[in-house]
Amino acid sequence: MAPMKAAAKKAMTKGAIADALATQFELKKTVCGKLINSLAEIATKEVKSSGVFTIPGVCKIKTRTKPATKAGKREIFGKTVVVKAKPARKVVKAFPVAALKKSI
């Protein structure tokens, strides 16, 4: 007998989150949707200016500068591969806060 695969759970959509907030706080779904959009705009603005944004109890969003890489030949899995140079760039990373880690 073949093992059964567990049904894959999907992440909540923005509409589902807005609907859950609307039912919990007795607000309109459109108001909650606008609230989520404004939170995203505020987070974007803060990360661009200061490099860090925290949603209390959920996650911390940070920027990190990845250094430039030089062009050249590298050995990958026993084969020599020519690698192109890449410039330095900023990367956005999100980390769960300690309270969320402890709850899971």
Spans of all domains in the chain: 13-50, 51-103
Q: Give me 65's structure tokens.
A: 């500068």
Q: Is the pLDDT of residue 7 over 70?
A: no
Sign, CA torsion 8/14/17/22: negative
**Cα atoms in the Cβ-side hemisphere of radius 13 Å centred on 30:** 0
Query: For residue 54, what are its two tokens?
Result: 């925290």
Reply yes or no on whether the pLDDT at 22 is more than 60.
yes
Query: How far does CA 65 lie from the centroid of its chain?
Result: 16
Q: What percent of the chain has pLDDT over 90?
A: 82
pLDDT, tens only, 64-79? 999 999 999 989 899 9
The backbone torsions φ and ψ at residue 11, rounded to the nearest 5 degrees and listed phi first, read: -70, 155
Angle subtended by helix axes 29-49 and 14-25, to nearest 10: 120
